[in-house]
């Protein structure tokens, strides 16, 4: 077993246009002051990183690593959620998701997808330059409008959707393989990979690709009423990244899983700061440790109630308190007898 690394923090929710949140150096100083030891970098945010330059220049990457190290920080991994979303996007989301890409490809789905695929390839190369062996992203969605089977699905619709999803991602997975980096899909509602079965359907269609893995975030499983602890038992061999994000699901007589088009504060299922929701993180950290998870515990802070400054400060300490420093010897060694086969046979009456 290994001790999880952390605490880390996903910078996406904290980056902004005002200092110190508008530069990586400013965010690094802020994160270190809050007690974090690592940062997960959103590759779509030019205030934080130039992804193309990171893929091309080792000097640029080393400069970033040096700046972070001066604050006592490391890069946990790079993230490309927005670009991954655009690799496979249903036309219903064309206009809402245009903002994920540069204006030059707006209103042009083919050009936008081509841009997104190139971004993922750059992310694989940049990850390798950073010395990282895993990367996190979204799968995109071709089938989400058809989540509920009414109107009834035409025969083969779901299979065709997953075949197309696999066709688009297989070359990207191969590129990640060439760079020595695992691609970890965040299992998330609105993504085609939103639970265990959908991940299995995709994994089968990409030939059980070794680089096809999971970013585990229990909050998204809670909001789907999935057993998030059993999920680890099923998929621990593919879990390569971990977001620490809490949630609560409190359905009532007026609304439930679908949320009634309400804002987050009024939904039956909503995200909370770590420790304020329903997730049993003690059990999660125990299971990940027992299954020899070797990655970072990274805070993704999203809460409808708490101030982000408090959420970040408390989140860093929350993760630190939950990381289990693994034992260097069995606790009952003091009563252990030395190996003696003859004695063993006598004990067994042989």
- pLDDT exceeds 80 at position 338: no
Q: Residue 327's pLDDT band (boundaries 50, 70, 90)?
A: confident
- pLDDT exceeds 90 at position 344: no
- pLDDT exceeds 90 at position 328: no
Q: Do residues 166 and 208 make contact, with C-beta atoms less than 8 angstroms apart?
A: no
Long-range Cβ contacts of 95-101 (<8 Å, 24+ apart): 100/44
pLDDT at 334: 63
CA 264 to each of CA 77, 210, 313: distance values in angstroms, whole numbers, following the listed order: 28, 37, 22
Supply φ then ψ for residue 35, to 5 degrees.
Answer: 105, 10
pLDDT at 332: 65
* 257-315 pLDDT per residue, tens: 999 999 999 999 999 999 999 999 999 999 999 999 999 999 999 999 999 999 999 99
pLDDT at 100: 97
DSSP class of 102: -
Average pLDDT of 32-50? 98
For the chain, domain boundaries: 5-347
Average pLDDT of 147-160? 96
pLDDT at 41: 98
Q: Residue 270 and residue 282: Cα distance in Å, rounded?
A: 20
- pLDDT exceeds 80 at position 61: yes
HSE-up (13 A, CA, CB side) for residue 135: 36
CB atoms within 10 A of CB 170: 15
Q: How does strand 134-137 pair with strand 212-216?
A: unpaired
Write b or e for each residue in 183-202: b if 16 or more Cβ atoms lie within 10 A of its Cβ, otherwise e: bbbbbbeebbbbbbebbebb
CATH superfamily, domain 5-347, is Divalent-metal-dependent TIM barrel enzymes (3.20.20.150)
Q: Residue 313 and residue 328: Cα distance in Å, rounded?
A: 30
Phi and psi based region of residue 190 (left: phi greater than 0; alpha: psi -120 to 50; beta: remaining): left
**What average pLDDT does the structure give for the chain?**
96
pLDDT at 331: 66
């Amino acid at each position: 077993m290994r001790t999880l690394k952390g605490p880390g923090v996903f910078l996406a929710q904290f980056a902004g246009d005002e200092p110190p949140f508008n530069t990586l150096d400013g965010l690094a100083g802020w994160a270190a002051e809050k007690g974090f030891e690592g940062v997960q970098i959103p590759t779509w945010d030019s205030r934080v990183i130039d992804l193309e330059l990171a893929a091309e220049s080792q000097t640029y990457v080393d400069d970033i690593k040096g700046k972070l190290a001066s604050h006592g920080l490391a890069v946990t991994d790079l993230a490309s959620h927005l670009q991954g979303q655009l690799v496979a996007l249903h036309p219903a989301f064309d206009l809402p998701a245009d903002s994920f890409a540069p204006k030059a490809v707006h209103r042009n789905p083919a050009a936008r997808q081509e841009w997104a695929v190139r971004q993922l390839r750059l992310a694989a190369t940049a990850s390798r330059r950073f010395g990282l062996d895993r990367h996190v992203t979204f799968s995109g969605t071709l089938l989400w409008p058809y989540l509920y089977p009414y109107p009834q699905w035409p025969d083969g619709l779901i299979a065709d959707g997953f075949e197309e999803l696999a066709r688009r991602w297989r070359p990207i997975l191969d590129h990640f393989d060439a760079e020595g980096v695992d691609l970890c899909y965040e299992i998330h509602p609105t993504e085609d990979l939103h639970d265990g079965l959908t991940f299995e359907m995709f994994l089968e269609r990409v030939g059980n690709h070794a680089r096809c893995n999971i970013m585990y975030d229990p909050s998204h499983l809670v909001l789907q009423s999935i057993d998030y602890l059993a999920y680890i038992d099923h998929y621990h061999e593919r879990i390569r990244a971990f977001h620490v994000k809490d949630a609560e699901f409190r359905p009532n007589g007026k609304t439930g899983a679908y949320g009634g088009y309400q804002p987050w504060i009024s939904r039956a299922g909503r995200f909370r700061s770590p420790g304020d929701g329903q997730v049993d993180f003690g059990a999660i950290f125990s299971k990940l440790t027992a299954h020899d998870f070797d990655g970072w515990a990274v805070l993704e802070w999203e809460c409808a109630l708490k101030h982000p400054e408090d959420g970040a400060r408390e989140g860093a300490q929350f993760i630190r308190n939950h990381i289990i420093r693994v034992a260097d010897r069995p606790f009952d060694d003091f009563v252990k007898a030395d190996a003696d086969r003859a004695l063993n046979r006598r004990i067994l009456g042989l």
